[in-house]
Structure 1
Amino acid sequence: MDALLYTAWDMLLGPFTDFAFMRRALVATLALSLSAAPLGVFLTLRRMSLLGDALSHAVLPGVAIGFMVAGLSLSAMALGGVIAGMLVAGIAGIVSKFTALKEDASLAAIYLVALALGVTLISNHGTQLDLLHILFGSALGVDSAGLLLVAGVATVSVLALALMYRGLVLETFDPVFLDANRRRGRGVFGAWGSRGSWVWQQGFLMLVVVNLVAGFQTLGTLMAVGLMMLPAVSSRLWHDTLPAQLLNASLQASIAGVAGLLLSYHLDTPSGPTIIGCAGALYFSSLLMAPGGWLPRWWTTWHRVA
C-alpha cells in the first residue's frame, strides 16, 4: 500500500519537484487560468464566444512580423500580436459601421485573411519548427522571460477586471441603464462622457487580446483561446450566478492545466493540445453531469412523465 501511494505521489508531484521547466509551465498555466477563463465567461454572456477564436487567429500576423524583425524574441512577438489583434478588431468594427455587413461577418473575413498572411510570413522567414511553435506553443518550453510575461499579464488582467467588473456587468446585462447613468453623470459611469459603453467594450477587448497574446507562448495562437472558452462554457452548465461561473471557470482551467501538463510529461504528447484536450474532457463531462446538462434534465423529465 505504501509503495502504491509513493508511486502515485511520485507521478503527480515528481515532475514538478524534480524539473524547473515543469514548475515554470505550471505557474504559467495557472496564471492564465486565473486571468483568461473569467474573460471567457463574459464573452459567452455577451454572445461573443467566436470573437475570442477570431482574435486568437488575428494576432498571428503581428507575431509573425515580430518574429521576422527580432527572431524568437518574446517581447517583439507579444507587441506585434497585441497591435495586430486590436487592429483587426478595430477594422471589423469600422467595416460593420460603414457597410451592410455585421461585425461577426466582417471579423470572420478579416481574421481568415490575417491567419493566412501570418502563416505565409512565418513559413517564408522561418523553419517548420518555428511555425509549429508559434501555432501550437510549448508550455514545457516556457523560459523565465515567458513566465514573467504571463504572470505580468495575468496580474494586470485580474486587477483590471476587478476595477471594470461593475461596468462590464451593467454593459453586458443592461446597457440602457449604463447609458442612462452616464447621461446623468452618476459616479464612475458619468466620468466617461459621451463615449458611454464603448469604453467598457474596448477595455474588455484589450484584456482579451493581451491574454491571448500571453497564452500563445504556452498554448500557441491556435490553442490559446481554448483555455479561455472551454471552461467558461462548462461553468454556465453548473451555475446560474456570475460570481460562481467566474470561480468555476478558473477552477476548471486550472485542473485542465495541471492534468494536461502531467499527461504531456508522462505520455510525451504536445503540451498545448493536451491541456486543451483535458479542458474538452471537462466540458463533455459537464454536458452529461452538470445541473444544466443532459443527465439531470433527462432524469427530471423522466420523473415528470413517470
Structure 2
Amino acid sequence: MTLLHEVYQFTIAPFQEFAFMRRALVATLALALSSAPLGVMLTLRRMSLFGEALSHAVLPGVAAGFIFFGLSLPALSIGGFLAGVIVVALAGWISRHTELKEDASLAAIYVVALALGVIMISGHGTQLDLLHILFGNVLGVDTEGLMLVAGVSSVSVLLMAGLYRGLLLESFDPSYLAASGGRNTLYQQSFLMLVVLNLVASFQTLGTLMAVGLMMLPAVSARLWHDTLPAQLVNSTVQAAAAGYAGLMLSYYASVPSGPVIIVCAGAFYFLSLVFAPRGWLPRMLRRPHLRA
C-alpha cells in the first residue's frame, strides 16, 4: 500500500490538487489529439518545415491583436489566424507568379514576419509579454483558453475524418483525384487552414516559437515505427499525449517552464525512436549481418 500511495502521490496528486494542472493536462491532450495527426500528414506531403514556418508567420497577427486589445485571447487568436492565412495566400501567389517554389517563398516570408512580430510586441509591451507570446504558458491556461483549444481540437478531428480520403488522394495521386472530379486546391487549402488553426491554438500553451514541436516531433517519430498511415496517426497522438503528461510532471517537480519541457520530452521520445524503432539505428545494425550472409 505504501508503494501504491507513493506512486499515486507522484503521478496523480498534482492534477487532483491543483485546477491549473488539470486545465494544462486537458489542453495538452486536446492538442495531441489534433496537432500530431496533422504533423503526420505534413510529413506525408514532404512539408515538414511548412509547419515550422507557419508557426512563426502568425506572430505579426498575434502582435497586432496584442497592441490593440492586450492579452485578450480571442483577439490574439483571430489576429494569428488571419496572419497565417495571409502568409499562406501570399506564398502561393508568389509561387504561381514567379519561379520560386512555395516552400522557398514561405521561408523568406516567415523570417520577416517573425522579426516584425518581435519588433511590434517589444515596442508596445514588456519583456514578460514578449516571453509569454513567444514561449507560451501552459500552466496559465484559463477556462476560456481551454475551451478554445478543445474547440479547435474537436473541429480539426471531425474535419480530418471528413476529408481523410481526399487528403490521401491529394497527397499520393493528385492526378487521379482531379480526373475523378475532386478539387485538389480545396483539399490543400482546407488542410493548410487546419494547420494554421492548430498552431494558433497551440501558441497559447507552447508559444509561437515551439507550437510546432508537439505537431512535428511525434509525427516524425511515428514514421520510424510504422509503415501504415493509420498506425502512424495513432502512434503520433499517443507520443504527443505522453510527452505532454511527462512534461507537466517534470516541470511541476523541477520548477521549470512547462512548454519547453514538454517539447524536450517529445524530443526524447524521438531520439529513443531513432535508436530502437524498426526503422531506427539499432534494428538496422542487427539486420546487416543477415543481409551480408
**What TM-score comes out, normalization by structure 2 length?**
0.99
The residue aligned with 1:93 is 92
Question: What is the letter of the counterpart of residue 62 of structure 2?
Answer: V
Q: Could you report, residue by residue, the CA deviation over 1:33-81 in whole angstroms, capped at 9, with x for unpaired residues?
A: 0000000000000000000000000000000000011100000000000
How much has 1:303 moved relative to structure 2? 3.2
Mapping for residues 153-172 of structure 1, pairs under 5 Å: 153-172=152-171
Note the alpha carbon deviations across 1:134-170, whole angstroms, 9 max, x for none: 0000111100000000000000000000000000000
AA paired with 1:280?
Answer: G
Correspondence for 2:219: 232
- 1:236, CA displacement in angstroms? 0.4
CA distance in 2, matches of 1:157, 1:232: 16
* Cα deviation digits, residues 197-236 of structure 1 (max 9, x gap): 0000000000000000000010000111000000000000
Which letter maps to 2:82?
I
Whichever residue aligns with residue 204 of structure 1, its letter is F
Partner of 2:109: 110
Correspondences of 1:291-302 after superposition (within 5 Å): 291-302=278-289
Segments of structure 1 that go 5 or more residues without pairing to the other structure are 183-188, 190-195
Q: Please give the secondary structure, in 2, of the residue aligned with 1:256.
A: helix
Residue 33 of structure 2 corresponds to: 34
How big is the shift at 1:8? 2.0
- Measured after TM superposition, the shift of residue 117 of structure 1 is 0.4
Aligned pair 1:257/2:256, yes or no?
A: no
CA distance in 1, matches of 2:68, 2:151: 24
Measured in 1, the distance between the counterparts of 2:164 and 2:261 equals 32
Identity %: 67
CA distance in 1 between partners of 2:106 and 2:48 (Å): 13
How many aligned positions are there? Answer: 293
Q: Which residue of 1 aligns with 2:61?
A: 62
What is the root-mean-square deviation of aligned Cα atoms in Å?
0.8
Q: Which residue of the partner structure matches residue 192 of structure 1?
A: none
**Alpha-carbon offset, residue 97 of structure 1:** 1.1
SS at match of 1:238: coil
Q: Distance in 2 between matches of 1:123 and 1:7?
A: 46
Q: Distance in 2 between matches of 1:302 and 1:276?
A: 36
- Stretch deviating more after TM superposition (99-108 or 73-82): 99-108
Please name the residue that 1:177 is paired with: 176
Shift in Å, 1:7: 1.6
- Rounded Cα–Cα distance in structure 2 between residues aligned with 1:164 and 1:303: 43
What whole-Å deviation, never above 9, does each CA across 1:170-193 have from its counterpart, x for those lacking one? 0001111101101xxxxxx3xxxx
Matched residues in 2 for 1:124 and 1:277: separation? Answer: 31
Letter of the structure 2 residue corresponding to residue 153 of structure 1: V
User: What corresponds to 2:201 in structure 1?
Assistant: 214
Q: Which residue of 2 aligns with 1:244?
A: 231
Pairing of 1:141-152 with structure 2 (within 5 A): 141-152=140-151
What is the SS of the residue equivalent to 1:299?
helix
Residue type matched to 1:162 in 2?
A: A
| Match in the other structure for 1:136 | 135
| Aligned match of 1:193 | none
- SS of residue in 1 equivalent to 2:227: coil
